[in-house]
Amino acid sequence: MSEYQDHIRQSLEGAHHDPAEELGIDEMRWSPAPGSEPVSDAAETAHALLDRATDAYVSLVDAVLGDGKHNMVVSATTPHGEFIEGQELTALGDTLIINEAASLRVCTVIAAAMLGCSNGGLVVRTYGPDGSESVRGWKIRNFWLWPITADDIREAYSVDPETGAPLTPEPGVEFRQAERVPRPDQDQADTGARHASRTAPPDNRPPNRRN
């Protein structure tokens, strides 16, 4: 994961200041601060959001998803329209098979959903090594990914989003309570453990990534 994370961060190189530390979500806008250069301010805001979105994405992939094949879909509803991106990735122990271009697109949509005038969600369908199939979801708000309950994700999958008609439950699919995604600014100890897991022997991996 270390080379992958470095690549993501280099690709999204920019301001590392976190607007969430100073602004409430309702105050975050794609508008320039008073007295600042509009283009420069918008670029700094975009870089800060992309950096935050990458933190959330890496934390989700590295510390939460666990072993298996994962189909991820993220959506953002913004004043400029709705954006949806998806990707497939496979994790098994220390091995991660991932498309970096797809990851960058997913991070961009997460960042768009983090704007105060936007909202979004991220859903992961996991096919476990034991043949299990499960679905989890996270809301994107307050500049982070927040767990959706098993009941809420089950309800979301029980209604056709276009017609509102009820859908037949998918056989063999478990709708799970999503896990909390560790935040670097609040979980320094966990963050250190996750960074160590990318370079240390297998026995230092996060608990949910150990065999």
- What confidence tens digit (pLDDT) does each residue in 59-74 have? 999 999 999 999 999 9
Tokens of 31: 């508008």
Centre a 10 Å sphere on the Cβ of residue 197 and count the other Cβ atoms it contains: 20
* pLDDT single digits (tens) 183-194: 987 655 444 444
**Scanning the structure block, which residue is given the tokens 């992939």?**
61
Do the Cβ atoms of 34 and 41 come closer than 8 Å? no
Hey, is 8 helix, strand or coil?
helix
Residue 86 in tokens: 């998806």
Residue 121, domain extent: 2-209
Residue 157: DSSP 8-state = T
- The reply to whether the predicted model has a pTM over 0.75 is no
Which tens digits make up the pLDDT trace of 103-158? 999 999 999 999 888 999 999 999 999 999 999 999 999 899 999 999 999 999 99
What's the pLDDT score for residue 42? 72
Q: Are 20 and 52 in contact (CB under 8 A)?
A: yes
Strand partners, 86: 73
Distance from C-alpha of 186 to C-alpha of 168, rounded to nearest angstrom: 40
- Residue 81 CA to residue 129 CA, distance in Å, equals 37
pLDDT in tens, 30-65: 334 444 455 567 778 888 999 999 999 999 999 999
Cα(134)–Cα(127) distance, rounded to whole angstroms? 7
- Number of structural domains (the chain) is 1
